[in-house]
A and B are shown apart, each in its own frame.
Chain A
Amino acid sequence: MSIRKIFEEELADLKTQLVEMCRLTEQMISDAITALVNRDRELGKSIGIMDKRVDEYEMAIEKKCMRILLKQQPVAKDFREVSTALKMITDIERFGDQAADIGDLVYTMPGDAYIKKLTHITAMGNLAVKMVRESVSSFINNDEALADEVIALDDQMDDMFLAVKTDLIELIKKDGRNGDQAIELMMVAKYLERIGDHAVNVAEWTKYNETGVHQKF
């Protein structure tokens, strides 16, 4: 097999692992929201276990990228793809961390009735899953337009976060006893909002991969 062919196979393998890692984090975010809505403490706890697998993926992909850099010394688009993957896994790993944090909250939260409907938080969860999937897809498919869409979606995420925050402040003002749960829901919303930010980072790296210019949005 030619050296070039070996390199292309290593790159393809790297991308497959990235997609698997990403799918895992999507499942974790989705499970975190389900656990929250259904008060499913066990499901919440299980997300932490999945997070260990995400960490393993991060280590494996990082090792693979470094091996490619060492052995192939890639340049141009090859170099951008490997360095993009190397940067991207840090953000993907954070997707997993945030989902695991929500899972932990669900596990430790007292079983009182919710002080508010979870409509916005559920919507934020769905949007987070969409942003995560599309940010990584944009890299895998060299789709700069999709990366732009992910970056644009973050405004919706921020708006919803603001709406949840405003609601929760009102609820605390109305009755101080709402405070404990309000803070926990606020944290859930913040974790989801952070997932959006990390998805934007991934999308920015996709744009770097396509254009050679790394720009912050």
Chain B
Amino acid sequence: MNEFIGRMDITAKGCNLYYGDFHALKDINIEIPEKQVTALIGPSGCGKSTFLKIFNRMNDLVEGCRIEGEYRIGGVDIFDKETDVNVLRKNVGMVFQKPNPFPMSIYDNIAFAPRTFGITKKSELDEIVEQSLRRASIWDEVKDRLRKNALGMSGGQQQRLCIARSLAASPKVLLMDEPTSALDPISTGKIEELMEELKKDLTIVIVTHNMQQATRIADKTAFFLLGELVEYGNTDDIFTSPRDERTERYITGRFG
């Protein structure tokens, strides 16, 4: 069985994805560096979320979805027969636009994945819960109500709880699909700070519609349009001097 050990860079070669007859991703080649934040930007329907989901094989269950190409995380082929999809997903966490805590206590949300991996000892679980909540910068806010239902938290807290829940599985990569689009500026700020902190240990790929967010947090930015990767480079370069006219028109709001 393939293991994910050591480096955690992401590569896609000759990526083509089809939903039935619809060619959703066209010939994408990209190398995403480890321990950096990479932003995927582009208009709705351009394929950026579809592309993001490939990396923890969220598209496997989508009917009619066909994927071609080679995808590696830390050198490991994620579609290889020897790659266990559960091991992949343990290593590649995902956070969605809408916070989706499980309808159970804060503690149980975080302990869910470790329990699945067979950890039952209370002291060990306590340790993981505290560490995960601390890393997601929410420990101080919830430490006195760990047994309360997670659904009673604010949207911003729920989202950080979901990040903490991902971290409890000790992932190497965190995929974030518009994680702050439903949050107020304060919660958004906290999650952005969190990404800055987490990238010391993790590779983060984020889909965002907020250009200023991309400039603030992303080291690299990739611009998708109509299923193609139009431009990919250092965020500073993309937002000050994009090479492609289409990138320029999109980020300056001149499309259409």
Q: Whole-angstrom distance from the CB of A211 to the nearest CB of chain B?
A: 7
Q: Whole-angstrom distance from the CB of A16 to the nearest CB of chain B?
A: 21
Q: Which of A49-66 contact B (CB under 8 A)?
A: none
Cβ-defined contact, B248 with A76, below 8 A: yes
Cβ-defined contact, A76 with B253, below 8 A: no
Known: A75-B211, A75-B215. A4 touches B241 (CB 8 A): no
Contact residues of B with A, CB < 8 Å?
Answer: 211-212, 215, 237, 239-242, 247-248, 251-254
Partner of A77, one of B212, B252, B253: B252
Query: What bracket does the count of chain A residues touching chain B fall in?
Result: 10 to 19
> Which residue of the partner chain B has the closest CB to A80?
B240
Q: Identify the interface centre among B212, B215, B241, B251: most chain A CB within 10 Å of its CB.
A: B241
A7-B254 Cα distance, complex, nearest whole Å: 11
Q: Which residues of B contact A76 (CB under 8 A)?
A: 239-242, 247-248, 251-252
Q: Which residues of B contact A80 (CB under 8 A)?
A: 240-241
Cβ-defined contact, B239 with A77, below 8 A: no
Could you pull out 24 A-B pairs where Cβ atoms are within 8 angstroms?
Answer: A3-B253, A4-B252, A4-B253, A4-B254, A7-B253, A73-B211, A73-B212, A74-B252, A75-B211, A75-B239, A75-B240, A75-B251, A75-B252, A76-B241, A76-B247, A76-B251, A77-B252, A78-B252, A79-B239, A80-B240, A211-B241, A212-B237, A212-B240, A213-B241
Q: Whole-angstrom distance from the CB of B232 to the nearest CB of chain A?
A: 15
Q: Which residues of B contact A212 (CB under 8 A)?
A: 237, 240-241
A213-B239 Cα distance, complex, nearest whole Å: 13
Q: Whole-angstrom distance from the CB of B170 to the nearest CB of chain A?
A: 36
How many Cβ-Cβ contacts under 8 Å join chain A to chain B?
Answer: 34
Q: Which residues of B contact A78 (CB under 8 A)?
A: 252
A99-114 CB mask vs B (1 if < 8 Å, else 0) is 0000000000000000
A80-B247 Cα distance, complex, nearest whole Å: 15
A76-B239 Cα distance, complex, nearest whole Å: 5
13 further A-B contacts with Cβ under 8 Å, apart from A4-B253, A73-B212, A79-B239, are: A4-B252, A7-B253, A73-B211, A75-B215, A76-B239, A76-B240, A76-B242, A76-B247, A76-B252, A77-B248, A212-B237, A212-B241, A213-B241
Q: Which residues of B contact A75 (CB under 8 A)?
A: 211, 215, 239-240, 251-252
> Which residue of the partner chain B has the closest CB to A8?
B254
Q: Which residues of A contact B241 (CB under 8 A)?
A: 76, 80, 211-213
A80-B241 Cα distance, complex, nearest whole Å: 8
Q: Which residues of B contact A7 (CB under 8 A)?
A: 253
Q: Which residues of B contact A211 (CB under 8 A)?
A: 241
A193-B239 Cα distance, complex, nearest whole Å: 36
> Which residue of the partner chain B has the closest CB to A4?
B253
Q: Which residues of B contact A77 (CB under 8 A)?
A: 248, 252
> Which residue of the partner chain A has the closest CB to B255?
A4
Q: Which of A151-199 contact B (CB under 8 A)?
A: none
Q: Whole-angstrom distance from the CB of A117 to the nearest CB of chain B?
A: 49
A80-B215 Cα distance, complex, nearest whole Å: 15
Q: Whole-angstrom distance from the CB of A75 to the nearest CB of chain B?
A: 5
Partner of A79, one of B237, B240, B247, B253: B240
Q: Whole-angstrom distance from the CB of B243 to the nearest CB of chain A?
A: 10
A77-103 CB mask vs B (1 if < 8 Å, else 0) is 111100000000000000000000000
A125-B253 Cα distance, complex, nearest whole Å: 44
Q: Whole-angstrom distance from the CB of B214 to the nearest CB of chain A?
A: 9
Q: Which residues of A contact B212 (CB under 8 A)?
A: 73
> Which residue of the partner chain B has the closest CB to A77?
B248
Q: Which residues of A contact B211 (CB under 8 A)?
A: 73, 75
> Which residue of the partner chain A has the closest CB to B241?
A212
> Which residue of the partner chain A has the closest CB to B211?
A75
Q: Whole-angstrom distance from the CB of B193 to the nearest CB of chain A?
A: 20
Pairs of residues from A and B, 9 with the lowest C-beta to C-beta distance, nearest first: A212-B241, A75-B239, A75-B251, A76-B248, A78-B252, A4-B253, A76-B252, A76-B242, A212-B240
Q: Which residues of A contact B251 (CB under 8 A)?
A: 75-76
Q: Whole-angstrom distance from the CB of A102 to the nearest CB of chain B?
A: 38
Q: Whole-angstrom distance from the CB of A11 to the nearest CB of chain B?
A: 11
Q: Whole-angstrom distance from the CB of A187 to the nearest CB of chain B?
A: 40
